[in-house]
């Protein structure tokens, strides 16, 4: 007897979702995606922006407020297509950060270089690796060379990441060929002993944002809406779906929606777990770490922008806007518990400065370089190009980066 799930809760986690931090790809803010996922009762939501971890700070903050379990990953572009990598735990997140750094350094801005076998060296069993959607490595091989080539690509992925880490991604946007393609992918997965998972290859939070997504697509192609219309999806289908809707879409593939929910629960963790576990930093005057960092920032901000405005009506001046952003950045650092890390790096750069050692730190250390006043504006502007929004991936653990505080502490004109 068939079970009516039209109004029942069906466990589901969306594992392939890009925000507008995937420039000219996603159309929704991370907060909008979180709100929609929470309202639909999803077990978890993954943010998998393209080639980076750009939106995860805002994503994690919004999800923490609403109590939505968070999964962290990225859609990485290879020369043979894309793969979607999900960190299974904080260690997997650290390895993903390192892999992204290596790819960015191997390429150029907006054109990182990722190689399947090299990514496998970073995985060590702490990732789920999905075969990707429309531009995925398996689907591209299927479209260009047929099922045999797609199966060889699956075997290549299994060799790189391990038999138990690779999963076949299925999605259905209502195209007449979606079911035919998914049939082939499921058959390949079965022959290679892979689990299949349902996603919706999400680009926006709700169907109402489809029009914005089409405009973004036209800008990406540097074309008018009329000229690009033939290449766009015919309907608003790439939104965050409920478990019940996904169950109806994928009824012919039993278990794929449940598999997505299970992976989401397996990989969910709070971003605060990746905060570095450092010994307490010795702070003067019995201050705690965050208070000492705030004190350093206070001195630098006052020097650069002037005293904090006392009149609340002063809200449009450079000084008022600077202090407002600085306060927000410090709250992010405090919330995530990264003050100790910044103070340790600050101490290292202080030593370099006293010893006349040029401290060419990576982008992850920009905030502390500001505090030390040891970096020239030109060099800092260059390094900012290496920095992802909110978090950088220049070390095994990602750390929040304050762009405005960076300016605050530079005194070399």
User: What DSSP line would sit under 90-152, residue for residue?
Assistant: HHHHHHHHHHHHHHHHHSBTTB----HHHHHHHHTT-EEEE--STTBHHHHHHHHH-HHHHHH
Average pLDDT of every residue of the chain:
83
Helix (H, G, I), strand (E, B) or coil at 74: strand
Can you tell me the mean pLDDT for 233-247? 91
| Cβ contact 249:214 at 8 Å | no
Pick the CATH number of 13-272 from 3.20.20.140, 1.20.1050.10, 3.40.640.10, 3.40.50.720: 3.20.20.140
> How many angstroms separate the CA atoms of 129 and 152, rounded?
16
Helix (H, G, I), strand (E, B) or coil at 285: helix
Per-residue model confidence as pLDDT tens digits over 100-122: 999 999 998 788 999 999 999 99
Confidence of residue 135 (pLDDT cuts 50, 70, 90): very high
What is the distance, to the nearest Å, from the Cα of residue 4 to the centroid of all Cα atoms in its chain?
36
Q: Between residues 194 and 386, which one has the greater pLDDT?
A: 194
Percent of the chain exceeding pLDDT 70 equals: 84
Quick one: pLDDT at residue 4?
53
Confidence of residue 147 (pLDDT cuts 50, 70, 90): very high
Question: Where along the chain do its domains lie?
Answer: 13-272, 277-408
Q: Give every CB contact of residue 130 below 8 A, 6+ residues apart in sequence.
A: 15, 16, 83, 84, 85, 86, 136, 166, 167, 168, 169, 197, 199
Q: Between residues 148 and 386, which one has the greater pLDDT?
A: 148
Q: Where are the beta strands (DSSP E) in 306-377?
A: none
Quick one: pLDDT at residue 6?
55
Q: Among 3-17, 23-37, 98-112, 320-334, which is the least confidently predicted range?
A: 3-17
HSE of 47, CA atoms in CB hemisphere, 13 A: 33
Percent of the chain exceeding pLDDT 90 equals: 54
Confidence of residue 53 (pLDDT cuts 50, 70, 90): very high
| Residue 366 predicted with pLDDT over 70 | no
| Residue 402 predicted with pLDDT over 60 | no
Q: Among 19-33, 138-152, 328-342, which is the least confidently predicted range?
A: 328-342
Strands 391-392 vs 44-47: parallel, antiparallel or unpaired: unpaired
| Cβ contact 72:90 at 8 Å | no
Quick one: pLDDT at residue 352?
82
Per-residue model confidence as pLDDT tens digits over 56-91: 989 999 999 999 999 999 999 999 999 999 999 999
Can you tell me the mean pLDDT for 371-376? 42
Annotate 31-47 with b (16+ C-beta within 10 A) or e (fewer).
bbbbbbbbebebbbbbb
Annotate 189-200 with b (16+ C-beta within 10 A) or e (fewer).
beeeebbbbbbb
Quick one: pLDDT at residue 246?
97
pTM: 0.73
């Amino acid at each position: 007897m068939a079970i009516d799930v039209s109004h029942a809760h069906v466990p589901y986690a969306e594992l392939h979702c890009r925000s507008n931090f995937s420039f000219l790809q996603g159309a929704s803010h991370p907060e909008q995606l979180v709100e929609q996922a929470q309202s639909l009762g999803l077990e978890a939501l993954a943010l998998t922006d393209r080639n980076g971890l750009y939106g995860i700070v805002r994503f994690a903050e919004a999800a923490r407020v609403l109590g939505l379990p968070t999964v962290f990953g990225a859609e990485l572009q290879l020369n043979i297509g894309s793969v979607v990598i999900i960190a299974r735990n904080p260690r997997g997140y650290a390895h993903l950060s390192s892999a992204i750094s290596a790819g960015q350094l191997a390429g150029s801005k907006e054109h990182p270089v990722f190689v399947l076998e090299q990514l496998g060296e970073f995985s060590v069993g702490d990732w789920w690796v999905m075969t990707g959607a429309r531009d995925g490595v398996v689907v591209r091989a299927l479209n260009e060379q047929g099922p045999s080539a797609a199966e060889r690509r699956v075997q290549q992925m299994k060799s790189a990441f391990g038999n138990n880490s690779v999963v076949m991604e299925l999605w259905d946007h209502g195209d007449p060929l979606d079911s035919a393609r998914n049939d082939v992918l499921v058959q390949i997965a079965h022959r290679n002993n892979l689990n299949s998972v349902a996603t919706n290859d999400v680009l926006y939070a709700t169907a109402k944002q489809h029009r914005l997504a089409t405009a973004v697509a036209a800008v990406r192609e540097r074309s008018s809406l009329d000229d690009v219309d033939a290449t766009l999806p015919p309907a608003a289908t790439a939104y965050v779906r409920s478990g019940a809707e996904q169950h109806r879409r994928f009824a012919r593939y039993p278990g794929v929606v449940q598999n997505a929910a299970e992976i989401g629960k397996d990989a969910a963790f709070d971003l605060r777990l990746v905060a570095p576990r450092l010994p307490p930093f010795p702070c003067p005057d019995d201050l705690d770490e965050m208070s000492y960092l705030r004190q350093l920032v206070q001195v630098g901000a006052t020097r650069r922008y002037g005293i904090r405005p006392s009149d609340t009506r002063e809200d449009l001046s450079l000084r008022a806007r600077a202090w407002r952003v600085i306060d927000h950045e410090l709250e992010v650092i405090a919330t995530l518990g990264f003050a100790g890390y910044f103070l340790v790096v600050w101490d290292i750069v202080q030593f370099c400065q006293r010893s006349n050692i040029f401290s060419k730190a990576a982008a992850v250390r920009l905030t502390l370089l500001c505090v030390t006043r040891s970096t020239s504006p030109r060099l800092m502007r260059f390094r900012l190009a290496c920095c992802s929004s909110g978090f950088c991936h220049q070390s095994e653990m990602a750390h929040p980066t304050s762009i405005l505080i960076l300016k605050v502490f530079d005194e070399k004109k």
